């Protein structure tokens, strides 16, 4: 019950002089509030204009970055196509070499020497590491 009384008393304190206001005073207050609202609206519009300008610059930068990446990917694709052509030619040459038995034996001999050399090199290096 005391809450209702307090609420009622605070309401009456807020609106005590409301009945005594003249119509001219009410208009002045109303025009003042319109000026404040106009000022707040102008601030909000300026803020929105700044945000829109920022977003416009940001989207422009994103667009430029996307175009740059697209150009990079196109160049990469062209490079990959060129590499594919080179690899295809190399594979064709390997096929020609391995078609003949004598060439196959020669390649096996060369690969054997290279592998032997790598094993000997690795063992010598390990012996130096163990002694040193």
Contacts of 132 (CB under 8 A, 6+ apart): none
pLDDT tens, residue order, the chain (132 aa): 454 445 455 545 444 544 544 444 444 456 667 788 888 888 999 999 999 999 999 999 999 999 999 999 999 999 999 999 999 988 888 787 777 777 778 888 889 999 999 999 999 988 888 876
97 Cβ partners below 8 Å, 6+ apart? Answer: 103, 104, 107
Could you tell me the two tokens for 95? Answer: 């096929």
Give the mean pLDDT of the chain. Answer: 79
- Domain positions in the chain are 13-100, 101-131
Residue 131: predicted pLDDT: 77
The string of DSSP letters for 44-113 reads HHHHHHHHHHHHHHHHHHHHHHHHHHHHHHHHHHHHHHHHHHHHHHHHHHHHHHHHSHHHHHHHHHHHHH
Task: State pTM to two decimals.
Answer: 0.42
Q: How many CA atoms lie within 13 A of 98 on its CB side?
A: 7
Which of 40, 43, 18 is CA-nearest to residue 29?
18
pLDDT in tens, 42-72: 899 999 999 999 999 999 999 999 999 999 9
Rg (CA), the chain: 44
Site of tokens 């109303």: 30
């Amino acid at each position: 019950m005391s809450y209702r009384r307090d609420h009622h008393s605070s309401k009456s304190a807020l609106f005590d002089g409301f009945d005594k206001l003249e119509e001219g005073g009410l208009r002045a207050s109303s025009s003042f509030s319109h000026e404040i609202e106009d000022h707040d609206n102008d601030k909000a519009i300026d803020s929105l204009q700044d945000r829109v300008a920022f977003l416009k610059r940001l989207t422009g930068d994103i667009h430029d970055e996307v175009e740059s990446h697209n150009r990079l990917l196109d160049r990469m694709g062209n490079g990959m196509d060129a590499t594919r052509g080179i690899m295809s030619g190399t594979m064709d040459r390997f096929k020609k070499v391995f078609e003949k038995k004598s060439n196959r034996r020669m390649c096996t001999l060369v690969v054997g020497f290279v592998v032997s050399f790598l094993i000997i090199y690795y063992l010598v290096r390990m012996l130096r590491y163990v002694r040193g």
